[in-house]
Structure 1
Amino acid sequence: MPETNVSFFSRLSLAIGTFFTILADREFAAGVLRLREGAAPVAAAPQAPTAAAPVIKDTGPDAALQLLGLLQREARLIDFVEEDIGSYGDADIGAAARLVHEGCRKALREHFTIRPVREEAEGSRVTLAENFDAKAIRLTGNVVGKPPFSGSISHRGWRVEDVRLPKLTGSHDATVIAPAEIEL
C-alpha cells in the first residue's frame, strides 16, 4: 500500500529528483505526462536478466589476527615493521630482512598450502580462451576487444589450496597477537 503521509522534505526531495530525471530521460517524462493526464502507466518492457549482485560476506577478524600473531611469533614481523630503520646500515637491514623472510616463509608453509595460479614461468607467452577465470587472472596493459587474448605472464599469481590454522579456545583474545614480555 503506498505511503499517504509523506513529509514535506521527502516530497521536496522526490520533486527535485523527478525534475532532473524528466529532463534527462524522455521515456520517463512521457510516463509522467501520461500519469498527469489520468492514463494508466505503460508496463515496462521485459528486461534481459542481469547478473546477480555479489554477496558481501561479513568476516570476523580472528583468522587475520591469528595469522598476524603467527607471523610475529615465527618472524618478528611486527617488530621489524614497527622498528625505525633509518639509522641502520643496509647490511644490518638486509640481515634482519633475511631472518624475517625465513620466519614468514616457515609460518606460511606450516599453516597454508599455496600454489601458483599459472604454472608457466614468468615471461612465458600464453593465450587465454574466451572462458578464462577472470577471478584468478587480471589482464593488464592494452586490454581491448574480446577473448582469446595473447600476452606474457608478468606474475604467476598465488592460490591457497589448504589452510591449517590452530583452533582457538573461547577464552583466547585474538587481539593480543604478541603478549608483552616482562623479565624478572
Structure 2
Amino acid sequence: MPTATNTDDQPAPGFFFRFFVLAWIAYFRTLFDADFAAGVARLREGRPALPPPPEPEKKVEPEKKKPEPEKPVLREATPDAALQLLALLQREGRFVDFLEEDVASFSDAQVGAAARVVHEGCRKALREHVPLEPVRSEDEGAKLTLDKGFDAKAIRLTGNVVGEPPFKGTLAHRGWRAKDVKLPKMAEGHDARVIAPAEVEL
C-alpha cells in the first residue's frame, strides 16, 4: 500500500501513530493549553493553525508644534505730547471747557452755538499742528475689494468677517492718518500736565 503524504511531500503518520500518540497528545494538550486549543479550532474552521503575525506598529511621529506668534513689542508712550495737544485744543477751541460743561440744562440752540466755536478752534489747532489725511480716497459708501496683503493696521474689517482675502465690502468710514506732527517745543521745566492755567483777574 502506498504511503500517504502531506502537502509538504513528507510521509503522513500512520493510523496507529495517530491514534495512540498524536490523538492523546492533542487531547490532553487541548485541555490544558488554551493557545493550542485555539489553533485546533482554527484548523477545524479551515484557517491556518497559527494566527497571522502582528502588523508592525506604525511609528507615530510627534506633531510638530506650531511656532507661537511673536508677541508685539509694546512701547510706552510718554504723555507729554498728548497733553500738549490737548492744551492746544483747549487754547484754540476751549475743548476741555466744552467737555467739562454740563450741557443738559442748555437749549439745543445754545449747545449748537458753543459747538460751532469749539469746532472752529479745534479744527484750526489740528490743521496747524497735526494735519490729517483720509486713509482711503474713495467716497464713503463706495464698493471696494481688499486683496491679500492689505494693510490691516490701516483698515479694520467689520461685520461678517469669514475666510481669506480678497474681501468685498462697502467703505463705511474713510479713516484718518496724521500726515505730520508739528508740536511746539517745550521749555525746560514746563509742566505738560497743566492743560490750561487758572486765570486770576486783578
TM bucket (normalised to shorter chain) is 0.7 to 0.9
Give the drift of 1:46. 5.2
**Alignment partner of 1:127 is 2:145:** yes
Aligned equivalent of 1:63, options 62, 66, 81: 81
Percent of residue pairs bearing the same amino acid type = 63
Aligned equivalent of 2:70, options 46, 49, 52: 52
* Residue identity opposite 1:59 in structure 2: A
Give the drift of 1:122. 0.2
* Residue identity opposite 1:105 in structure 2: R
* Residue identity opposite 1:78 in structure 2: V
Q: Secondary structure at the match of 1:162?
A: coil
TM-score normalised by L of structure 1: 0.73
Alignment of 1:111-150 (within 5 A): 111-150=129-168
* Residue identity opposite 1:163 in structure 2: V
- Larger RCO, structures 1/2 (Cα 8 Å, 6+ apart): 1
Instruction: Compare CA radii of gyration and give the structure with the larger one.
Output: 2
Structure 1: 5+ residue stretches without partners: 1-43
TM-score normalised by L of structure 2: 0.67
C-alpha distance in 1, partners of 2:133/2:69? Answer: 30
Alignment of 1:24-35 (within 5 A): none
C-alpha distance in 2, partners of 1:51/1:118? Answer: 29
Structure 2: 5+ residue stretches without partners: 1-61
C-alpha distance in 2, partners of 1:105/1:142? Answer: 35
Supply the RMSD in Å over aligned alpha carbons.
1.3
Give the drift of 1:68. 0.7
Give the drift of 1:45. 6.3
